[in-house]
Amino acid sequence: QVQLVESGGGLVQPGGSLRLSCTASGSIFSINTMNWYRQTPGKQRELVAGITQDGNTNYADSAKGRFTISRDSAKNMVYLQIDSLKPEDTAVYFCNAVLTRIGGPYPRPSWGQGTPVTVSS
């Protein structure tokens, strides 16, 4: 069993900052890429940022400059720092990890339950 748990979401005023965290736990052999997605009602879930085992990062165009993804591989954690928050950043943010389970033959994606972020004055 593998579990991803996000935290750090909440209500924040425009221009503020948040740091989202995600911890992966359970029967994990290794974790490849860790990602953050977000979703708003009626829209598809979209990739915000990703980070590889080697620390290489990629960002959606909408996230460049204000979002910073990082990870602590020793703790199986990934973070998303969001600065200068805008109302359009309001969404549920999901953690995703491409990981291999103990005894598993190949990497597969796992998802957290999401943490809501609301940007409003």
Instruction: Write out pLDDT tens, residues 111-121.
Output: 999 999 999 99
State mean pLDDT over 64-87.
97
Band of the pLDDT at 64, cuts 50, 70, 90? very high
pLDDT of residue 17: 97
Residue 81 CB coordination number (10 Å): 15
Q: Please state whether beta strands 2-7 and 10-12 pair in parallel, antiparallel, or not at all (unpaired).
A: unpaired
Q: Determine the pLDDT at residue 81.
A: 98
Burial state string for 21-38 with b = 16 or more CB within 10 A and e = fewer than 16? bbbbeeebeebebbbbbb
Whether residue 99 contacts residue 28, with contact meaning beta carbons closer than 8 Å, is answered with: yes
